Amino acid sequence: MKPNPCLENIAPGYLFPEIAKRRSAYQQAHPELKVISLGVGNTTEPLFDTIADGLVREAQALATAEGYSGYQDEGSAALRQKISEVFYGGRFSIDEIFISDGAKGDVGRLQLLFGAGTPVAVQDPAYPVYVDGSVLIGAGGPHDGTGYAGIAYLPCTPENKFFPDLAKVAPGSLLYICSPNNPTGYVMTRAQLEALVAFANANGAVIIFDAAYSEFIRDKALPKTIFEIAGADACAIEINSFSKPAGFTGVRLGWTALPFGLKYDGGGSVNKAWSRVTATIFNGASNIAQAGGLAALSEKGLQEIRALTDYYLENAHLIKQALEDRGIRTIGGYDSPYVWAQFPGRTSWDVFDELLTKYNIVTTPGSGFGPAGESFVRFSAFGHHADVREACARLAKG
Amino acid sequence: MKPNPCLENIAPGYLFPEIAKRRSAYQQAHPELKVISLGVGNTTEPLFDTIADGLVREAQALATAEGYSGYQDEGSAALRQKISEVFYGGRFSIDEIFISDGAKGDVGRLQLLFGAGTPVAVQDPAYPVYVDGSVLIGAGGPHDGTGYAGIAYLPCTPENKFFPDLAKVAPGSLLYICSPNNPTGYVMTRAQLEALVAFANANGAVIIFDAAYSEFIRDKALPKTIFEIAGADACAIEINSFSKPAGFTGVRLGWTALPFGLKYDGGGSVNKAWSRVTATIFNGASNIAQAGGLAALSEKGLQEIRALTDYYLENAHLIKQALEDRGIRTIGGYDSPYVWAQFPGRTSWDVFDELLTKYNIVTTPGSGFGPAGESFVRFSAFGHHADVREACARLAKG
């Protein structure tokens, strides 16, 4: 049996396992040191009561004749309704909201809607799954050391206000946009989103809009969903997740909003095609996780989401301040749990290694997110306050 | 944007939604009738205490600083170890056991290991996901009304003792085998599995062995895993699930055993490639579900699995007896929760409609599982005893 040639195209060494390896090797060589991870964006704080109670009650109910439930492929109708109300002002019907086991799984599956022949354009830097998932289904080719063949990398840097040069996007492209951005922490303005939607509608592009960090937005002028923009219903698919706002990285729950208004060339319904894809290769999110998600969208649950995201935002502010105090230029950290720090003239892995060995702080090398991430590192605000304070103190000492 | 041509190849109307539609239309036209579903293989009985407690305790722990956990991409090491011990006599290392959110998701992802150019062979009839998933990634072509182009259908019928004609399998094929079989309920003998493994090793085929119903096997002479067969390590991947034995259809938990011994032509590790695929497009099963799975594999949990599968097997025996009493030939129902009933000379949908309208019983038309399923219907034993008894009484009345 031969390997999938698409799989062989993916560069070895997925970013986060490589970080884990370097961290682990360093810790083993220096067992006496306390290494603090501001690397992977993994939540650290316990669930708040209302949300945890939602999970517990459902787990208990499953042991009763009245409360037992089996397959829920399409997701709980109550949860889909609540998501539409809370995040989209009720504008979507429940058949436009698809419950997932988190954003990553849906990123992988969404590419099946368009297939190997689709031109792909990604913000650069970006969450690696957009590109890796595209290569896996054949929409991208071999890696040449900086990027994959056939994928348009759209640098988003301080120089262009983190807005991609859309002239590089071929008509009919699948265009991945993440805002608040992972890794840069940058949040697109309303005007920028309007320009994106106008471009997509004029050029037959479909925007995969990753809004997994939208609950960290505090600035009321910044849109929390692309569907605040007129015309987005005809060109956008939004992916979101309970992972970061509710602390569900381990519980696994997310959703995708896919409006009826999104059509293929020729008028076919993308929504209907997505129903078919998910019915074929996905069996739904855990009923327990779904009950937790419903609890998280209650009035009290939403207060808990606010408190939890506030907690991580406080970390982000501390990290940003500590870096700026050292004269390091940063982006993000205000409406996002990520701080993107620039180290001109140096490689990201070099900075990563220095931060690990000098300050015993784990970060994520920016180059792991794409060529334009080179010379940056990402600081994640997901951590205990005490650890973040200690990391900042180490940075301050110099 | 154009649709994925692979997606367009998939015949519209996934089997189970179509059944749900017909059932619902009938029920709406006859609201006074009690329709009993022996159609979809969906579990109906509440979780037993030990297993439910495992879920509840983990959900509670997530609200504590000590018990909180985030991403667990690779799955709990303790669960992987326990799976190796309980199901494989400890022969596998934890790195050969991959935790999934259930068999269906992994069936969809596994095809990415080999890609669009791989010849695919399936038992006919078979669980639709093997074929649909293959078509979705381009390993199968358009549907001609009876089957998909490029997929070898291997009839498994009473005439050939449900053992496929392997002469039809191209060298280097991906060969899907399910035992105990869904939908036929047939369980492969040791000699049959030995012949399969010998064939695969001699012809460079890889067997995807779906053992999701293995816990229903009571006959000690029948292998519960393909890895009981010498040589299987070099040619087989086993998919399994907590859905049916532990009642986790809604909770979502499964696993895939992929031995280090399985190599691509040229010696590359399929196990390593699978790590890469799952790291790229999957973020792990829910930590709560994993804790429930670990509880299910404790001594008490295993007794509960035995009790739950006994419950459904009793249903299967009743259904089988009721059909045989009417002179209807059946297969399965002893070591499997499915009874496969033959109605010579009739179409499956015709029988389905008659059973629905005459007895108000929902079944699954055999033709939905592949061309060789025509003239059969599948009775599922997943249901409350009282409902199954009533269904059997209706059948007895004639």
Overall average pLDDT of the A210-221 stretch: 98
User: Of A13, A344, A6, whose CA–CA distance to A158 is shortest?
Assistant: A344
CATH architecture label of A51-299: 3-Layer(aba) Sandwich (3.40)
Give tens-digit pLDDT for A297-323: 999 999 999 999 999 999 999 999 999
Q: pLDDT at position B10, please?
A: 85
Overall average pLDDT of the A168-192 stretch: 97
> Terminus-to-terminus CA distance in chain A, angstroms?
54
Contacts with B289 from chain A: Cβ below 8 Å: 286, 288
Assigned CATH topology for domain B51-298: Aspartate Aminotransferase; domain 2 (3.40.640)
Residues in chain A: 398
The CA distance from A71 to A287, in Å, is 8
Overall average pLDDT of the B215-230 stretch: 98
The answer to whether A174 and A154 are in contact (CB under 8 A) is no
Assign A225 a pLDDT band (cuts: 50, 70, 90): very high
Beta strands in chain A (DSSP E): 36-37, 97-100, 120-124, 151-155, 174-178, 206-210, 236-241, 254-257, 329-332, 338-342, 361-362, 364-365, 376-380
Mean pLDDT rounded to a whole number for chain A: 95
User: Residue A398: pLDDT above 80?
Assistant: no
Tell me, yes or no, if A104 comes closer than 8 A to chain B by beta carbon. Answer: yes
Minimal CA separation from B227 to chain A, in Å: 19
And the tokens for B211? 């053992």
Q: pLDDT at position B169, please?
A: 98
User: Residue B242: pLDDT above 80?
Assistant: yes
The reply to whether residue B247 touches residue A68, judged by beta carbons under 8 angstroms, is yes
Contacts with A273 from chain B: Cβ below 8 Å: 3-4, 7
The CA distance from A77 to A79, in Å, is 5
User: Residue A376: pLDDT above 70?
Assistant: yes
Give tens-digit pLDDT for B161-204: 999 999 999 999 999 999 999 999 999 999 999 999 999 999 99
The reply to whether residue A136 touches residue B48, judged by beta carbons under 8 angstroms, is no
The answer to whether A41 and A337 are in contact (CB under 8 A) is yes
User: Residue A5: pLDDT above 70?
Assistant: yes
Task: Give B189-245 as a DSSP string.
Answer: -HHHHHHHHHHHHHHT-EEEEE-TTGGG---TTS-SSGGGSTTGGGTEEEEEESHHH
Tell me, yes or no, if B4 comes closer than 8 A to chain A by beta carbon. Answer: yes
Mean pLDDT rounded to a whole number for chain B: 95
User: Of B179, B387, B199, B217, whose CA–CA distance to B305 is shortest?
Assistant: B217
The answer to whether A184 and A162 are in contact (CB under 8 A) is yes
User: Residue A122: pLDDT above 90?
Assistant: yes
Assign A40 a pLDDT band (cuts: 50, 70, 90): confident
Minimal CA separation from A325 to chain B, in Å: 31
And the tokens for B75? 């799955």
Handedness of CA B284, B287, B288, B293 (dihedral sign): positive
User: Residue A250: pLDDT above 90?
Assistant: yes
The reply to whether residue B276 touches residue A10, judged by beta carbons under 8 angstroms, is yes
Residue A337 pairs in a beta bridge with none
The CA distance from B289 to A22, in Å, is 31
Question: In one letter, which amino acid is A69?
Answer: S
Q: pLDDT at position B146, please?
A: 76
Assign A16 a pLDDT band (cuts: 50, 70, 90): confident
Assign A289 a pLDDT band (cuts: 50, 70, 90): very high
Q: pLDDT at position A11, please?
A: 73
Q: In this predicted model, which residue has the larger pLDDT, B346 or B281?
A: B346
- Between the alpha carbon of residue B157 and those of residues A363, B125, B179, B239, the distances in Å are 58, 9, 14, 23
User: Of B381, B240, B378, B225, whose CA–CA distance to B309 is shortest?
Assistant: B381
Question: In one letter, which amino acid is A382?
Answer: F
Kindly compute the dihedral angle of the four CA atoms of residues B133, A70, B341, B386, in this order, to the nearest 10 degrees: 180
3-state secondary structure of A92: coil
Tell me, yes or no, if B20 comes closer than 8 A to chain A by beta carbon. Answer: no
Assign A18 a pLDDT band (cuts: 50, 70, 90): confident
User: Residue A41: pLDDT above 90?
Assistant: no
Q: pLDDT at position B13, please?
A: 62
Out of A2, A283, A292, whose CB is closest to B252? A283
The CA distance from B199 to B179, in Å, is 17
Report the DSSP pairing between strands A329-332 and A338-342: antiparallel
Tell me, yes or no, if A56 comes closer than 8 A to chain B by beta carbon. Answer: yes
Domain residue limits, chain B: 5-47+301-397, 51-298
Tell me, yes or no, if A244 comes closer than 8 A to chain B by beta carbon. Answer: no
- Between the alpha carbon of residue A75 and those of residues A80, A239, A375, B241, the distances in Å are 7, 15, 42, 20
Minimal CA separation from B274 to chain A, in Å: 10
User: Residue A196: pLDDT above 70?
Assistant: yes
Largest Cα separation within chain B, whole Å, is 64
Phi then psi for residue A280, to 5 deg, are -80, -45
Give tens-digit pLDDT for B128-165: 899 999 999 999 999 887 789 999 999 999 999 999 99
**Alpha helices, H only, B4-115:** 5-9, 15-29, 49-61, 77-88, 103-110
Q: pLDDT at position A13, please?
A: 62
> In a mutagenesis test of the A interface, which of B51, B286, B304, B312 is the best target, namely the one with the most A β-carbons within 10 Å?
B286
3-state secondary structure of A89: coil
User: Residue A74: pLDDT above 90?
Assistant: no
Q: Is the ipTM of this complex over 0.85?
A: yes
Tell me, yes or no, if A234 comes closer than 8 A to chain B by beta carbon. Answer: no
The answer to whether B23 and B39 are in contact (CB under 8 A) is yes
Residue A365 pairs in a beta bridge with A377
Q: pLDDT at position B221, please?
A: 98
User: Residue B232: pLDDT above 80?
Assistant: yes
In which region does residue B231 sit, left (phi positive, over 0), alpha (psi from -120 to 50) or beta (all else)? left
Report percent pLDDT > 70 for chain A: 99
Overall average pLDDT of the A281-291 stretch: 95
Phi then psi for residue B61, to 5 deg, are -65, -30
Q: pLDDT at position B4, please?
A: 92
Give tens-digit pLDDT for B58-100: 999 999 999 999 998 789 999 999 999 999 999 999 999 999 9
From the options 3.40.50.620, 3.90.1150.10, 2.60.120.260, 3.90.930.60, give the CATH code of B5-47+301-397. 3.90.1150.10
The CA distance from B133 to B111, in Å, is 7
Give tens-digit pLDDT for B307-326: 999 999 999 999 999 999 99
